[in-house]
Chains A and B, each alone.
Chain A
Amino acid sequence: MKYPIKILSCFLLIILITSCAQEVEIDTGDFVPRIVIEGYIENDEYPWVNITNNQEFFKDINLDFTSEEGIATLLNLFVMDAEVTVTDGTTIDTLEFMIVPEIFEGIYVWPPVKYQGSKIIGEVGKSYDMKVVHKDKVYTATTTITEPLIPDSVWVEYSLKNDKDCWIHVRIHDNPDEYNYYNCYSKRLGKDNYFTECLLCLWNDQFFNGLDFEATVYRGSSFTFAMDTIESNLSDIGQYAVGDTVILKVLTMDAASFNFWQSTEQSNNPHSNINGDALGVWCGYGVYYTDPIIISEKP
């Protein structure tokens, strides 16, 4: 639902049709190294945090962590010596650095390493403080797990042009008494290694406060797409296919978290909700998983 952007994109389309592009080298000036923190706490889950370094813009990075260069990337990209704690006000959970187990099974997930909590399990309505200490610098943030949203209905619409493509739609009812912020992830069983963010599903309820709202869940893919899917096919991003079995992960979040994700869609720098000179987000999610949606043959 980014119509203004779509309108403008149409103009860009005209430009691109009549234009040509050639690769150029650009001097981006002095690189400013910064720490990047992404941390999550969901209802019924332990918190986890991933800490990385930002990268020079035109510097390639190798994600083949079995290669020598990939290992160098790993060491340069990930911050492994930070002290990370999460507290709900009464309990302090010191997160442990770990390699994600799926990696050992040959399944790629993002991130491959992280700081994992083990004492605090997320509860709806509670707030959680995160604190990261690294190289004598302290970074802090607070987030809240909001009430999960259960969709009223989920249905499939088939393409008019072929027998394969289809879209998934959801209908929700928005709570009129509070500000609400939504997102949706999806995972195709047998095709995707983990849940990836759907396209155009980041919403606040400014346009539909208190109303029933219907939205299309466009299938997305994270940037490391070749790793998050078993069958990588970028050409049909946005759609699902006949035969897919899909689980939707419907998310709610607080305003600061939404602000970060929304700002990543702007042309400006994203707004981190982390205090200290860090990039990234500390995000609490109220999560609801739908039952598997089995997409049968087109009627």
Chain B
Amino acid sequence: MSFKNTIALIFFCLSATYSFCQTYTVSGTVRDKDSGEKLTGANIYFQEDLKKGAASDINGKYSISSEQGTYTLVCTFIGYDTVVQQINLNKNLKADIRLKPLNNLMGGVEIKVTREDQNVRSPEVSSIEISMKRMEKIPVLFGEKDILKTIQLLPGIQAGGEGSNTFHVRGGGSDQNLILIDGATVYNPSHAAGFFSIFNSDIVNSAEVIKGGMAPEYGGRMSSVLNITTLDGDKEQFKGIVGIGLLSSRIQAEGPIQRDKSSFSFAARRTYADVVMKPFLKPNSPAKGLGTYFYDLNGKLSFQLSKKDNIFVTGYHGKDFFRYNANVYDSPFMDLNWMNTVGIIRWNHIFSKKLFLDVSANITDYQINVQGQEQLYKLQYSSGVRDYVGKADLTFTPDSLNKFKVGASYTYHIFTPTALSIKTGSTSLNANEQQKFYANDVSSYIQHDIQITPWLEVLYGLRYNHFSFVGPFKRYIIDNVYNLNNVDSIMYGRGDVIKSYNLWEPRINTRFQLSETQSVKASYTLNNQCLNLAALMDISTPTDIWLPSTDLLHPQRSHQFTVGYFQNFLDNTIETSVEVYYKKMLYLLEVNPDINPLSMFQTNLDYDFISGNGQSYGIELFANKTAGKFTGWVAYTLSWTTRNFDEIMDGKTFYARYDRRHDVSIMLNYELNKKWDFSVVWVFASGNAATIPNSYYIINGNLYIEYGEHNGWRMPDYHRLDLSANWNVFQRKMFSGILNFSIYNVYNRHNAFLVSYTISKNEENNKIEVHAYQVSLFPILPSVAFTLKFR
């Protein structure tokens, strides 16, 4: 059967599910008038019939079908003038829309002049689009704008720790978030051990976070999707940004390659903490030998081959360096670096007004390398994961009431969890052979978004995932965990299927429209996750190791139910929502806490996990003022997250480390005039669960700790106030300069990052004394950054 016939057959089957009627379609692309950038999430609708509407997709495309007639087509988007245009829909029409920014040089002033009711009208529940213009106003650590820190201010999303950009969604682990850049997976979105994200804010075009109710097009992770798209580049004029901050500087440039046909976008960033810190360190400081910095590079090329074909090539490469060369004794050095590299090529093809094709291939690679030396010991260690991905998505919009999407993808995973080489003196030790895990990951999905009645819309679908753990692989047969050496093994050949999983994931989102400004949404999603992160510490570090589901590790699974009530006020300028969720998690994996990290390098890493279950439930309140001089949001989450592992507390239920009872985020922005705007952020979070000592005892003259109930203690509550101001210093035709002043932790609260203990002997009274110390990371931290924009 030919490809065309196959497509035809698929859509014949799909079309049988709805009754066909004679309609015409208006479709096109929504772009920024100045930059030519595609705009995601713009609202396009007929004023005469508000139910005939659509939101522009990730490629800026929209499509609305309706009966023959004359309509007023309205297009609105945050921060842009509204476009209103009469159209005569007596045939299929193409209408590309160019929206004029209200103030593009100040970083955008959010004034919404017409209705914005996407939150009430879209069927997706627990999905939030982040405005880049809003992100630019949020005060941040060291003055670095950061999309990952911004989403931590949303309900249901918790920060992984002070200053960290790891995040936890509705009780899930940080590895349960699918983080995409232009459709490619990013395995470690962190620079500098989590204090910075790899996403340079200058190149982020849009960001959407989905906490639940994931449509079937998304898969592979249990808790959330963070979908980030980068700028295509201005097809009409050259422009750019130069940013100078206390710890980093950055440059961004974009412009046409061939006017209106092709464009480029490029950004680079480097930190200089290594240079800045040096003068402040004493000559004998143990930190004197410390050097750390990172850089990242982003590039994108966009080509319009024809009116129906576009090609995009995206590249990202970022690398962190960490060197410790102790000068205290004859000590040693340690070099550590880790890097993300992503390459994507994407082709969009428009078959017709109703049929879009998106085909892409990408490579994503994450590597960490360590070299160390101390006395006789020399060590080289590396770990990483590389994916080769091909995927295709087809969108069919037969009319304004129906939208179908089908897609398939194939991923070849290569995991190198541990490649270790140790030498002592002249002897090379028997660390395991470089151990790789290979997996084939085939996915397909179909989803249908149908407006059944004016008050009922359903987005439903099914995702299928065939995951195979394949050879070559050497499976060690161990007798018990303490006798690891001299073990037998089984060798699997290249491509041999060692274990495969067939995973079906039904998903459904429904929207009940109660009125023009009120809706109730409900969703159920089943998600499987075949990739696992072995975290060696409670805090996220780049040494965390990725590996796939294997014959020993069952894919993790979650069932999530969400019900939400959404209502807008004051002509949709205030959005509010209440969401209640329940998530059951099965086959959760944790590194066996009894395992000696060294033994992990001896046999197969997947021996060193324990499996259990968990659940999370809670309620999230969100109020968001999106227009006017005074904007901002208030988010509150009340939640519980628990776990059960047979190996921990004899299977009794315990709180997950990131179980957090109360979580409050307030973000307010006030635009005083065109020169100044001010923002304030206040966050409050109940303390995380932690395991603390209950007693100590003496053996062999040394003290050992006996820990109490697992995660049975609470860290102190966390709260913090941040302020920032943007001053538009000058604005010329070709240039504008903006100074950002930020103060992190304004009232200098010493929030607990961790609690440590010292057991010491007081020489004066011969007493053994035990003390607990709360370690806090960041005191009050003012920062200033200057951004020069030119065009």
Q: Which residues in A have some Cβ–Cβ distance to B below 8 Å?
A: 1-8, 10-11, 13-29, 31-34, 36, 38, 52-64, 67, 70, 77, 110-111, 157, 159-161, 165, 167, 169, 171, 179, 196-197, 204-209, 211-216, 222-226, 228, 238-239, 255-256, 258-259, 262-271, 279-281
Give which listed residue, B483, B537, B598, B769, contacts A255 with CB less than 8 A.
Answer: B483
Task: Provide the residues of chain B in CB contact with A53, threshold 8 Å.
Answer: 697
Smallest CB-CB separation from B431: which chain A residue? A207
Task: Provide the residues of chain A in CB contact with B322, threshold 8 Å.
Answer: 10
Task: Provide the residues of chain B in CB contact with A160, threshold 8 Å.
Answer: 330
Identify which of residues 697-715 in chain B touch chain A, using a CB-to-CB cut-off of 8 Å: 697-709, 712-713
| B484, A24: Cβ atoms closer than 8 Å | no
How long is the Cα–Cα vector from A27 to B693 in the complex, in angstroms?
Answer: 10
Smallest CB-CB separation from A180: which chain B residue? B485
| A263, B755: Cβ atoms closer than 8 Å | no
| A19, B775: Cβ atoms closer than 8 Å | yes
B421-432: CB near A (< 8 Å → 1, else 0) gives 010111101110
B381 at interface by CB-CB < 8 Å: yes
Give which listed residue, A19, A56, A169, contacts B753 with CB less than 8 A.
Answer: A19
5 interchain pairs, CB-CB under 8 A: A4-B597, A24-B774, A54-B697, A206-B602, A280-B697
How long is the Cα–Cα vector from A1 to B425 in the complex, in angstroms?
Answer: 13
Task: Provide the residues of chain A in CB contact with B759, threshold 8 Å.
Answer: 223
How long is the Cα–Cα vector from A222 to B770 in the complex, in angstroms?
Answer: 16
How long is the Cα–Cα vector from A36 to B697 in the complex, in angstroms?
Answer: 7
If A6-B334, A28-B693 touch, whether A223 touches B713 (CB-CB below 8 Å) is: no
B19 at interface by CB-CB < 8 Å: no
Task: Provide the residues of chain B in CB contact with A70, threshold 8 Å.
Answer: 766
| B593, A267: Cβ atoms closer than 8 Å | yes
How long is the Cα–Cα vector from A287 to B537 in the complex, in angstroms?
Answer: 36
If A3-B372, A24-B755 touch, whether A60 touches B768 (CB-CB below 8 Å) is: yes
B599 at interface by CB-CB < 8 Å: yes
B502 at interface by CB-CB < 8 Å: no
B284 at interface by CB-CB < 8 Å: no
Identify which of residues 593-610 in chain B touch chain A, using a CB-to-CB cut-off of 8 Å: 593-594, 596-600, 602
Task: Provide the residues of chain A in CB contact with B772, threshold 8 Å.
Answer: 23-26, 58
Task: Provide the residues of chain B in CB contact with A165, threshold 8 Å.
Answer: 329-330
| B375, A167: Cβ atoms closer than 8 Å | yes
Task: Provide the residues of chain B in CB contact with A21, threshold 8 Å.
Answer: 756, 773-776
Task: Provide the residues of chain A in CB contact with B773, threshold 8 Å.
Answer: 21-24
Enumerate the 5 nearest inter-chain pairs by beta-carbon distance, A residue then B residue, closest first.
A222-B701, A214-B425, A64-B766, A110-B701, A207-B429
For the complex formed, measure the closest distance between the CB of A208 and the CB atoms of chain B, giving whole angstroms: 5
Using A29-B694, A169-B376, A196-B701 as known contacts, list a sample of 8 further A-B pairs with CB atoms less than 8 Å apart, ordered by residue number in A. A28-B713, A57-B757, A165-B329, A165-B330, A214-B426, A225-B761, A266-B596, A279-B697
| A13, B290: Cβ atoms closer than 8 Å | yes
If A32-B695, A34-B706, A281-B699 touch, whether A62 touches B766 (CB-CB below 8 Å) is: yes
Give which listed residue, A54, A167, A268, contacts B696 with CB less than 8 A.
Answer: A54
Task: Provide the residues of chain B in CB contact with A111, threshold 8 Å.
Answer: 701
| B381, A3: Cβ atoms closer than 8 Å | yes
| B324, A13: Cβ atoms closer than 8 Å | yes
For the complex formed, measure the closest distance between the CB of A27 and the CB atoms of chain B, giving whole angstroms: 8
- How many chain B residues sit at the interface, stated as a range, is 35 or more
If A13-B286, A228-B701 touch, whether A216 touches B593 (CB-CB below 8 Å) is: no
For the complex formed, measure the closest distance between the CB of A194 and the CB atoms of chain B, giving whole angstroms: 8
| B329, A222: Cβ atoms closer than 8 Å | no
| A63, B767: Cβ atoms closer than 8 Å | yes
B180 at interface by CB-CB < 8 Å: no
| B765, A20: Cβ atoms closer than 8 Å | no
For the complex formed, measure the closest distance between the CB of B745 and the CB atoms of chain A, giving whole angstroms: 12
Task: Provide the residues of chain A in CB contact with B307, threshold 8 Å.
Answer: none
Give which listed residue, A2, A18, A212, contacts B427 with CB less than 8 A.
Answer: A212
Task: Provide the residues of chain A in CB contact with B695, threshold 8 Å.
Answer: 31-34, 54-57
Give which listed residue, B486, B753, B767, contacts A62 with CB less than 8 A.
Answer: B767
| B287, A13: Cβ atoms closer than 8 Å | yes
| B713, A29: Cβ atoms closer than 8 Å | yes
Most chain B Cβ neighbours within 10 Å, of A8, A14, A111, A167: A14
B49 at interface by CB-CB < 8 Å: no
Q: Which residues in B have some Cβ–Cβ distance to A below 8 Å?
A: 193, 286-287, 290, 292, 322, 324, 329-330, 334, 336, 370, 372, 374-377, 379, 381, 422, 424-427, 429-431, 482-486, 536-537, 539, 541, 543, 593-594, 596-600, 602, 692-709, 712-713, 716, 750, 752-753, 755-757, 759, 761, 763, 765-779
For the complex formed, measure the closest distance between the CB of A212 and the CB atoms of chain B, giving whole angstroms: 5
For the complex formed, measure the closest distance between the CB of A16 and the CB atoms of chain B, giving whole angstroms: 7
| B692, A26: Cβ atoms closer than 8 Å | yes
Q: Summarize A's interface: helix, strand, loop or mixed.
A: mixed
Task: Provide the residues of chain B in CB contact with A223, threshold 8 Å.
Answer: 698, 701-703, 759, 761, 768
| A216, B427: Cβ atoms closer than 8 Å | no
Task: Provide the residues of chain B in CB contact with A225, threshold 8 Å.
Answer: 761
| B700, A266: Cβ atoms closer than 8 Å | no
If A19-B777, A159-B330 touch, whether A279 touches B706 (CB-CB below 8 Å) is: yes
How long is the Cα–Cα vector from A159 to B332 in the complex, in angstroms?
Answer: 12
How long is the Cα–Cα vector from A211 to B425 in the complex, in angstroms?
Answer: 12
| B706, A29: Cβ atoms closer than 8 Å | no
If A8-B541, A54-B706 touch, whether A14 touches B701 (CB-CB below 8 Å) is: no
How long is the Cα–Cα vector from A34 to B370 in the complex, in angstroms?
Answer: 42
Task: Provide the residues of chain B in CB contact with A159, threshold 8 Å.
Answer: 329-330
| B485, A205: Cβ atoms closer than 8 Å | yes
Give which listed residue, A63, A215, A280, contacts B766 with CB less than 8 A.
Answer: A63
For the complex formed, measure the closest distance between the CB of B652 and the CB atoms of chain A, giving whole angstroms: 15
How long is the Cα–Cα vector from A14 to B352 in the complex, in angstroms?
Answer: 56
| B430, A211: Cβ atoms closer than 8 Å | yes
Task: Provide the residues of chain B in CB contact with A8, threshold 8 Å.
Answer: 536-537, 541, 543
Smallest CB-CB separation from B762: which chain A residue? A60
| A57, B770: Cβ atoms closer than 8 Å | yes
For the complex formed, measure the closest distance between the CB of A171 and the CB atoms of chain B, giving whole angstroms: 7
Smallest CB-CB separation from A218: which chain B residue? B375
Task: Provide the residues of chain A in CB contact with B430, threshold 8 Å.
Answer: 206-209, 211
For the complex formed, measure the closest distance between the CB of B466 and the CB atoms of chain A, giving whole angstroms: 34
Most chain A Cβ neighbours within 10 Å, of B539, B755, B772: B772
Task: Provide the residues of chain A in CB contact with B776, threshold 8 Å.
Answer: 19-22
| A280, B761: Cβ atoms closer than 8 Å | no
Task: Provide the residues of chain B in CB contact with A262, threshold 8 Å.
Answer: 596
How long is the Cα–Cα vector from A160 to B696 in the complex, in angstroms?
Answer: 40
| B775, A16: Cβ atoms closer than 8 Å | yes
| B330, A161: Cβ atoms closer than 8 Å | yes
| B193, A14: Cβ atoms closer than 8 Å | yes
Smallest CB-CB separation from B423: which chain A residue? A214
| A207, B775: Cβ atoms closer than 8 Å | no
If A18-B777, A161-B329, A268-B707 touch, whether A32 touches B426 (CB-CB below 8 Å) is: no
Smallest CB-CB separation from A196: which chain B residue? B701
Task: Provide the residues of chain A in CB contact with B536, threshold 8 Å.
Answer: 4, 8
How long is the Cα–Cα vector from A27 to B598 in the complex, in angstroms?
Answer: 34
How long is the Cα–Cα vector from A238 to B324 in the complex, in angstroms?
Answer: 19
If A29-B712, A61-B767, A225-B761 touch, whether A20 touches B379 (CB-CB below 8 Å) is: no
Task: Provide the residues of chain A in CB contact with B286, threshold 8 Å.
Answer: 13
| B485, A28: Cβ atoms closer than 8 Å | no
| A10, B336: Cβ atoms closer than 8 Å | yes
| A36, B698: Cβ atoms closer than 8 Å | yes
For the complex formed, measure the closest distance between the CB of A244 and the CB atoms of chain B, giving whole angstroms: 16
Task: Provide the residues of chain B in CB contact with A224, threshold 8 Å.
Answer: 698, 701, 761
| B750, A22: Cβ atoms closer than 8 Å | yes
How long is the Cα–Cα vector from A13 to B292 in the complex, in angstroms?
Answer: 12
Most chain A Cβ neighbours within 10 Å, of B426, B750, B767: B767
How long is the Cα–Cα vector from A279 to B425 in the complex, in angstroms?
Answer: 38
| B700, A28: Cβ atoms closer than 8 Å | no
| B713, A26: Cβ atoms closer than 8 Å | yes
How long is the Cα–Cα vector from A287 to B778 in the complex, in angstroms?
Answer: 50
| A264, B701: Cβ atoms closer than 8 Å | no
| A271, B541: Cβ atoms closer than 8 Å | no
For the complex formed, measure the closest distance between the CB of A195 and the CB atoms of chain B, giving whole angstroms: 10
For the complex formed, measure the closest distance between the CB of A284 and the CB atoms of chain B, giving whole angstroms: 15
